[in-house]
Amino acid sequence: MGGWLHGWRLAGDARRIARHGGLRPFETHPDVPAPARLLARLLRLGTGAPETPDHAAGLRACGPAAIKLGQVLATRPDLVGPEVAEGLRRLQDNLPPAPWARIEAELDRALPGGWRAHFSSIAETPVGAASIAQVHRATTHDGRVVALKVLRPGVEEAFAGALASYGWAAARLERLGGDFARLKPRLVIETFRQWTLAELDLRREAGNASELAEAVRGEPKVAVPRVHWDLTTRRTLALEWIDGARLTDPAALAASGADRPALAAALVRAFLAQAIGQGFFHADLHQGNIIVTADGRLTLIDFGIMGRLDRRARVYLAEILHGLIVGNYRRVADIHFEAGYVPPHHDPAAFASALRAVGEPIRGRSTRDISVANLLDGLFAITRSFDMPVQPHLLLLQKTMVMVEGVALSLDPDVNMWDVASPYVRDWIRDELGPEAWLADGIVANARMLRGLPALARRFVRQIPPESAAPPLPPLPAAEPVPAWIPARIPARWPAALWGAAAGAAIAIIAMLLAG
């Protein structure tokens, strides 16, 4: 697709966003180049845009890909600003469902032998419809009731075109340098692309659900539906049907009689068990993706967007959280420098002081008076001051922490997330970084090294040439010493020079003979 086509598509989207006032913040923002500020004003003319921007509505008007992109941008208040990010955090991709006739055709194409070979019935009206897929209640021939998720018709083509245009725009923004280069818009789009690829293959979502079930196994009040693998394909996902009250339905939640404070604490512990304990966490934990069942458990659904942290990142995360909880800001600063998050030319003491300005206001206060979103915004301001590059593996984590805070407060306004988190983080650090863990890690590392020694020895032996089977050579008298006027080593260019001299002499002799 040519650049002008990308520009045309993006201009149309910008006009739709402007119609909802979404470009107003960019008209006066000092960091936005003057030509871009002028363009934002021109795109708004004649739209009747409201004074208060509705960024979520603007992106919904642009279609499914823009909705998903908005969810990515909600993790980046440093890129779009805290007010825009706050508006985008409320963005959920609830859309009108696709007609049953088209969904039925998709099911027949996705399932071998057509859907009637596997199901006795499928409800034509979906229980939920999003930008990428929609979910129908279905019953198999052997009586299993499942939540059947199917991709919307034409969704792959729509996202492919949008991804190409977004990548084209991000590359041009990054070339402007300055903050645009530091904030890595191409990386944002690449993160978006990875999310999309994962969600467009429902087999990967099934794998996510199975792995997440293992991650939360130790939290009895949190569950994950079972995957029906025999009914799962690239375009369909079959999960155990869950009856219960959605957190988006306050009346149903109240009627369930659930122990809301206990559920709020369980949600926080389950998130920590995922992110810190296993390094694999549900990254879309809004109220619509959590069901309270009759037995008083939180059941998580929709596993398209997941996050991963390697062990080193999990250790740093646990130590950072513990440092903020107990007020050890110098240790938190040292962790940032050890992890390479802060360039080494900065002063750790100055960084610790900046962290103190963010952390001290939250200590000793209840969660209703503490906003994780505001805390993260303060940390983002520090990243700018200390030239910290964006850490891709932390983007989803930051977004999810804000979501978990919102859900926990909706369940129990008095929950103190820091009090709930502190015992878990403290115990995890003790188990993973204590002397026993240090000794165990050393034993494992040494055992792995010893196990690899035979293979290493074999590779070493293969590099040694075998002994020759030829008989030893007879002794020779010592060579005469080389005269001093003969160079010890004839340069590689000498043979060519000698041949050139001989050829020149031959030509001279022939010329003399012809002259005589």
First and final C-alpha spacing in the chain = 77
Residues above pLDDT 70, as percent of the chain: 77
Query: How large is the average pLDDT for residues 57-75?
Result: 80
Q: What is the pLDDT of residues 90-147, one digit of tens each?
A: 776 667 889 999 999 999 999 999 999 999 999 999 998 888 899 999 999 999 999 9
* Helix/strand/coil (H/E/C) assignment for every residue in 269-298: HHHHHHHHHHCEEECCCCHHHEEECCCCCE
Task: State residue 76's pLDDT score.
Answer: 66
Instruction: Tell me the pLDDT of the chain averaged across its residues.
Output: 80
Contact 21, 50 (CB under 8 A): yes
Give the active site residues.
284
Q: How far is CA 496 from CA 500, 502, 504, 510, in A?
A: 6, 10, 12, 21
CA pseudo-torsion sign 403, 407, 413, 415: negative
Q: Are strands 280-282 and 306-308 parallel, antiparallel or unpaired?
A: antiparallel
Number of helices (H) and strands (E) in the chain: give both, helices first: 22, 11
Q: Does residue 187 carry a pLDDT above 70?
A: yes
How confident is the model over 423-450, as pLDDT tens digits?
A: 877 777 777 666 655 566 667 777 777 8
For strand 222-223 and strand 290-292, is the pairing parallel, antiparallel, or unpaired? unpaired
- Cβ-count burial of 361 within 10 angstroms (0-12 exposed, 13-18 middle, 19+ buried)? middle
Q: What is the pLDDT of residues 13-27, one digit of tens each?
A: 888 888 888 888 778
Nearest to 161 by CA among 295, 1, 390, 357: 1
Query: How far is the C-alpha of 122 from the C-alpha of 141, rounded, in Å?
Result: 11
Q: Determine how many CB atoms are found less than 10 A away from the CB of residue 208.
A: 21
Joined tokens for residue 485 = 């006027």
Task: Note the pLDDT of residue 435.
Answer: 64
CB 263 within 8 Å of CB 253: no
Q: How far apart are CA 347 and CA 237, in angstroms?
A: 51
Q: What are the tokens at 455? A: 């293979």
Question: Alpha carbon of 267 to those of 223, 279, 294, 416, 435: distances in Å?
Answer: 11, 16, 17, 12, 30
H-assigned helices in 327-434? 329-338, 348-359, 372-385, 392-411, 417-433
The model's pTM is 0.70
Q: Taking the mean position of all CA atoms in its chain, how far away is CA 473?
A: 67
pLDDT, average across residues 38-43: 84
pLDDT, position 79: 66
Using DSSP bridges, classify how beta strands 245-246 and 306-308 pair: parallel, antiparallel or unpaired: unpaired
